[in-house]
Structure 1
């Protein structure tokens, strides 16, 4: 499975060549997402060819069992229904974890300053 995000500099010719390469070498699933237009395209292998997925919104990958849903953006869900986190959400979680780590270290220091070792 290959999932690609279209960049402004990518050309249709370039992306068609990539898909042809993947088709030639047996790729089972290929997904191409354009965040500028919120457009998702997908292809799945049927015999020797990658064929377009007609109804991609709500599609579940046969290989990974992840689900693709287009709302105002692309939402991808794990097989159990949990959504993949966006880069922004991942950064927020990392920042929160760092704040919690700093608070923990400060509490440990306060305990040590009072002669309490953990």
Structure 2
């Protein structure tokens, strides 16, 4: 009996620690779009470029040519990307994180 209490406590502490960053964001703190971009997107989009398809960087002209005009469109591409891009579902990148990334892209690369 004592073993299961210790194991449960250890598991609870681990789970709390693993999600504490997420919980901080839920409390209404503003997410850092740059940090989220670097975490999820910069590997394929360094400095707003595109290492998979150089014809589709994150620059305003390229986004516009591909039907991407606003944050909602960018989030749409994250959720249902074209060939070569990783799909980022809500479990991988929350809606709040996706919005912060999209706003960062629009502000930074356009």
Q: In which range does the TM-score fall when normalised by the shorter chain?
A: under 0.3
Relative to the length of structure 1, the TM-score reads: 0.23
Relative to the length of structure 2, the TM-score reads: 0.24
Higher relative contact order, chain-length normalized (CA < 8 Å, sep 6+): 2
Relative to its length, the structure with more strand (as a share) is: 1
Relative to its length, the structure with more helix (as a share) is: 2
